[in-house]
């Protein structure tokens, strides 16, 4: 059975032309909607993610962007049990680094997400980063991936991998998702 995708947006809830929103409609994904998508509060945002996970049956794959990546890692730190076990993997795209002074200066609301948990995630993850992301350096992205036990892949000079950097449909992301799903989903059991 194919896992259900859960979209975990960052600040602003990823607008109508953002690849997360396009994927939600294309793949029939569930979506985490924060009460205040401009003001992240780790425990509150993680609790909303938990609500969506609890309400969604079956195996799940989390697809997070920017501050949504922090939401996933905070949720993983706070959660336990069966809901966590149903997460087959997470695609973590363009994490926003709230501990980077320049990022925090431009977006002080991100400071609430610091410090980012650095424990190994209890499910496989693929972190996709950009060489010229204004919200996270490649070195920091690779260090986060290492701490979280995630595979890391560079998307090249792709900005923040959002609409402003020219990523609407983001076909390369769909390829990465497909490859990750193949790796995370156990093969069907064939009974003879």
CA of 179: how far to CAs of 22, 151, 184, 185, in Å?
Answer: 19, 12, 9, 10
- Residue 79 pLDDT class (50, 70, 90 cuts): confident
Please state, for a pLDDT cut of 70, what percent of the chain lies above it: 96
CB 121 within 8 A of CB 71: no
Peptide bond connecting 101 to the previous residue in cis, omega within 30 degrees of 0 = no
108 against 186, higher pLDDT: 108
Give this prediction's pTM.
0.94
CB 31 within 8 A of CB 53: no
Q: Which residue carries 């064939």 as its tokens?
A: 190
Tens-place pLDDT, residues 146-180: 999 999 999 999 999 999 998 888 999 999 999 99
- Residue 80 pLDDT class (50, 70, 90 cuts): confident
Per-residue pLDDT at 19 exceeds 70: yes
- Residue 7 pLDDT class (50, 70, 90 cuts): very high
H or E, element range at 64 = strand 60-65
pLDDT of residue 131: 97
Q: Where are the beta strands (DSSP E) in 85-180?
A: 87-93, 125-129, 151-154
Q: What are phi and psi of 115, to 5 degrees?
A: -80, 150
Superfamily name with CATH number, domain 4-184? Alpha/Beta hydrolase fold, catalytic domain (3.40.50.1820)
Please state, for a pLDDT cut of 90, what percent of the chain lies above it: 83
CB 21 within 8 A of CB 14: yes
The domain segmentation of the chain, as residue ranges, is: 4-184
User: How many CA atoms lie within 13 Å of 64's alpha carbon, on the beta-carbon side?
Assistant: 25
């Amino acid at each position: 059975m194919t896992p259900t995708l859960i979209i975990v947006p960052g600040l602003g809830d990823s607008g109508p032309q953002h690849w997360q929103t396009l994927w939600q409609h294309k793949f029939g994904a569930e979506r985490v909607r924060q009460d205040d998508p401009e003001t992240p509060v780790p425990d509150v945002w993680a609790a909303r993610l938990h609500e969506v996970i609890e309400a969604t049956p079956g195996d799940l794959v989390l697809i997070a962007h920017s501050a949504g990546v922090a939401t996933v890692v905070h949720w993983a730190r706070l959660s336990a049990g069966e809901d966590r076990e149903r997460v087959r993997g997470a695609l973590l795209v363009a994490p926003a680094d709230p501990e980077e002074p320049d990022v925090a200066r431009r977006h002080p609301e991100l400071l609430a997400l610091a410090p980012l948990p650095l424990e190994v995630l209890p499910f496989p993850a693929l972190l996709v980063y950009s060489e010229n992301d204004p919200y996270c350096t490649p070195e920091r992205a690779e260090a986060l991936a290492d701490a979280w036990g995630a595979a890391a892949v560079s998307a090249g000079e792709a900005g923040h991998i959002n609409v402003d950097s020219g990523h609407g449909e983001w076909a390369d992301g769909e390829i990465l998702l497909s490859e990750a799903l193949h790796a995370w989903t156990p093969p069907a059991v064939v009974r003879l």
